[in-house]
Chain A
């Protein structure tokens, strides 16, 4: 075992070990728990940074051992995987800080942070999985470790949400399992290789492959909240704000979208998928989800619910980008994996800040909030602009690339979808901004918490500002090395040159 595979294990182990230690800590060990949490998060970030540099120089990182004959457990860092790892480790750090502040004095924090770390460990496993078996292993582990977070509050409503979450994800997981086993029977261990490994199969197997693709995409589409498999996501909004951030930006929906990218690029291969005619239906499904999510978001009166439906819509941009046959659309989709994560987590943090500081949950209660909480409101505005796709925010760059990619792939109708969706985004975000900045406050806020020097607790405010800064930088500095755009181009270069 060499250093490189040890580093890879280290990335996984940091959050896994942290989770084990936190489970064992007594509820009252606040300081020790915080130290363990933050040390693990920072350590992980350092290791990931190291690997990012390595992957950039095309160094191979791989760790494998045999589970049963013909099935290996493989961890491998490639450009696509490490991008997802980078996102989740960065956001894990911020979300942990946020959650420590958010859950101050709340019960069951050992349980919460234990499962939280386990969740991140599963996400890292998903990102680094080198074959379908390993991917499936961590994909199911993610389901199991998020359930306790969704039901964390233990109310009737959250238990109901947890139940729905399980119906969807366990059902989807079982379908995915079928697809994976069927591929195994056909070609043996399915490792992820750029360009895929199915193109050489006998044409008589193609109908079978199409069924397998469908099963896998449905299985993954559940977590990616593709219409009509999205219903669990808005329901899961009953969980505490850091969990929403985790579901929407760091782990769960991302794992679904990332899995679809893996299946299309590294199992089937983009050209083979195109020749089987699989990309068009995927693009249509993504487009329907984009429009549907935006329409539903319009109708919501609850701030977090509106953001949830906005996620349903935004995550499908990633899927749309993957399904556009051509490098530019792919860059747009992959880049949006990072952009959406950064922008959405900012918006959820803001919503959490409003709720924690002022007890504001409904959009109609936001009148005049800008005056009371200017920093949070500025950041919220930036995030909303990003989602609408106003330059120079990161969301604009994603949409630009998606649009150009659609033209390149000669799917001009996608342009219409993008424009309509941007209009709808504006229609559901601008009224919120209007209320925040231009309406006068018309009610008393219940300001329960004792605050520090800032408009809200420092541990809530600073992570919000930092993620917003990253989202802003991703847009303004898109031309710099190691920006999301730069990295997405690197991935696509490696995928399409095969």
Chain B
């Protein structure tokens, strides 16, 4: 079978590289990326080729059957997430390779943590049963907490501590839910649950616990309080990774579970409630982002807002008819991927702007458009996608969600998408406004190394281009899902 043998490599490789990086001398740790990135890129593309040739399958690890062995799901969604992770993580790693030269004390643990984080994420994308999802969540969560703590300032440590508590509490709630489901149905696999699960009190309690845990980990309003200090205060490449990818993993689990359990079990009330929380996130996050004075805090609150859009998935997909549900699926995934790319680009370019002026204050960006046009250009491209303006992935996602909302007759979500877009325009242009202002002529700035600018620009450009070519990725992502043809 072409391609599929590289499926286990997707988490075996980063795990081994993580261990290897602990064994080599610190000087060699960053250099491992030149071994790891090509290998992981090759493995990801190979899995994509496998998907294209054999179609969506379940891969049995070591060829052991399900209850004993571990099943990995290789469908369009999983492969899409893997490719997204590979692209974003590789570029962030390249960025970090240059960026961390100025933070020598942080490099000791950054690289091992990066590999473990990657292994955890790939484990989540591929896992077919809810317990292995838990394992992935823990590996990823602990690595993420460690990365936040890397900048050993008191604020960073406090943020990391808060993040640790939230992450552990979230996993605990999730694990309780999993245990209840296992007790009730004697199965952990998604396929098994799909057959066995019925609508009863145990299922509802388990679902509530799982949702609660995952919401806390995704930082959906009003459980978002841990996110801005953790994402805004971390080292720039860490912020980018956490905001772009890590919070998506817990959302991904919820999305998969929701579709697996089906409308029998997932109550419409809960769906609407999740949508309302999402709307709250869009408004509150956008408003708070607009009020920030620190550039990276603004970007972090923007994440709080953007998470909200993803949760419109639940009301739009529950009991709404096949066409509206398919559009909701397409739109949410487009939003998710566009946000991953754009937010990583936004954090990286924000980091570049901060390096250039030597201050995290937005008000110190006066006149920056004159001397750091490239950093600002990446910031702008990423901003276009976040505002949902065309042509960009964010726009295409918004278009699909609007379409779905009208088709399912839920016009109230239109207002969320309408005002959310204007709010994000308000905070993005807040930065731009400052950069165009002509202040006292102190055209003095540090020039960040070219690699830092180029990685941010690549991510931002992909966020724009994916909106124009959305046809193809969306077609792949549907493979193997309830919305797919094959």
Contact = CB atoms under 8 A, between A and B. Distances in A.
A159 interface: yes
Prevailing SS type, chain B contact patch: helix
A171 B422 contact: yes
A155 B403 contact: no
21 contacts: A23-B377, A67-B470, A67-B471, A68-B400, A107-B370, A108-B370, A111-B373, A140-B395, A147-B432, A151-B433, A151-B436, A154-B438, A155-B438, A163-B433, A177-B399, A177-B402, A178-B402, A178-B414, A181-B403, A184-B403, A185-B403
A110 B376 CA distance: 14
Contacts of A159: 433, 436-437
A2 B287 CA distance: 50
Contacts of B436: 148, 151-152, 154, 159, 162
A275 interface: no
Given A69-B471, A154-B436, A171-B422, A181 B390 contact: no
A476 B23 CA distance: 86
Nearest to A166: B429
B425 A67 contact: no
A430 interface: no
Most buried by B among A23, A174, A182: A174
Contacts of B429: 147, 163, 166
B330 interface: yes
B378 interface: no
Contacts of A67: 396, 467-471
B425 A170 contact: yes
A73 B468 contact: yes
A23 B376 CA distance: 12
Contacts of A182: 406
Contact of B391 (A68, A137, A154): A137
A80 to B, nearest CB: 22
A68 B471 contact: yes
A154 B367 contact: yes
A147 B406 CA distance: 31
A204 interface: no
B390 A137 contact: yes
A23 B373 contact: yes
CB-based closest 6 A-B pairs: A154-B438, A137-B390, A181-B402, A151-B436, A185-B406, A66-B471
Interface of B: 330, 367, 369-370, 373, 377, 384, 389-391, 395-396, 399-400, 402-403, 406-407, 414, 418, 421-422, 425, 429, 432-433, 436-438, 467-471, 474
Contact of B422 (A23, A108, A174): A174
Nearest to A107: B370
B145 to A, nearest CB: 38
A111 B400 contact: no
Interface in A94-131: 107-108, 110-111
Interface of A: 23, 66-69, 71, 73, 107-108, 110-111, 136-137, 140-141, 143-144, 147-148, 151-155, 159, 162-163, 166, 170-171, 173-174, 177-178, 181-182, 184-185
A141 B391 contact: yes
Contacts of A144: 384, 389
A153 B438 CA distance: 7
Nearest to A184: B403
A269 B250 CA distance: 49
Contact of B390 (A136, A151, A185): A136
Contacts of B400: 68
Contacts, number: 84
Contacts of A71: 399
Contacts of A166: 425, 429
A159 B367 CA distance: 12
A67 B389 CA distance: 15
A192 B389 CA distance: 22
Nearest to B469: A67
Nearest to A138: B390
Nearest to A68: B470
A110 B377 CA distance: 13
Most chain-B Cβ atoms within 10 A of its Cβ — which of A71, A108, A144, A181? A181
Contacts of A177: 399, 402
Contacts of B370: 107-108, 111
A181 to B, nearest CB: 4
A108 B403 contact: no
B282 to A, nearest CB: 14
A332 B168 CA distance: 71
B330 A68 contact: yes
| Highest count of chain A CB atoms <10 Å: which of B391, B395, B407, B474 | B391
Contacts of B437: 154, 159
Nearest to A158: B436
A162 B369 CA distance: 16
A296 B438 CA distance: 32
Contacts of A110: 373
Contacts of B390: 136-137, 140-141
Question: Which of A155, A159, A171 has the most C-beta atoms of chain B within 10 angstroms of its own C-beta?
Answer: A159
Given A140-B395, A151-B433, A181-B399, 13 more contacts: A23-B377, A67-B471, A69-B471, A137-B395, A147-B429, A148-B436, A159-B437, A162-B433, A162-B436, A163-B429, A166-B425, A170-B422, A178-B402
Nearest to A153: B438
Contacts of B414: 178
A92 B140 CA distance: 54
Nearest to B419: A174
A259 B390 CA distance: 17
Contacts of B395: 137, 140
A71 B397 CA distance: 13
Q: For A107, A141, A153, A177, which residue has the most chain B Cβ atoms within 10 angstroms?
A: A177
A474 to B, nearest CB: 34
Nearest to A139: B390
Contacts of A174: 418, 421-422
A136 B367 CA distance: 31
A335 to B, nearest CB: 31
A148 B436 CA distance: 8
Nearest to B380: A144
A108 B471 contact: no
A69 B470 CA distance: 9
Contacts of A155: 438
A65 B46 CA distance: 28
Contacts of B470: 67-68
A71 B403 CA distance: 12
Contacts of A184: 403
A181 B399 CA distance: 7
A246 B367 CA distance: 24
Nearest to B414: A178
A68 B396 contact: yes
Contacts of B471: 66-69
Nearest to A185: B406
A133 to B, nearest CB: 8
A178 B399 contact: no
A68, A71, A178: which has the most chain B beta carbons within 10 Å?
A: A68
A17 to B, nearest CB: 15
Nearest to A163: B433
B349 to A, nearest CB: 15
Contacts of B418: 174, 178
A209 to B, nearest CB: 14
Contacts of B367: 154
A81 to B, nearest CB: 19
B379 to A, nearest CB: 13
A140 B387 CA distance: 11
Contacts of A68: 330, 396, 399-400, 470-471, 474
A173 B370 CA distance: 29
Q: Which of B390, B396, B400, B469: most chain A Cβ within 10 A? A: B390
A166 B422 CA distance: 10
Nearest to B397: A68
Given A67-B468, A68-B471, A163-B433, A111 B369 contact: yes
Nearest to A181: B402
Nearest to B407: A185
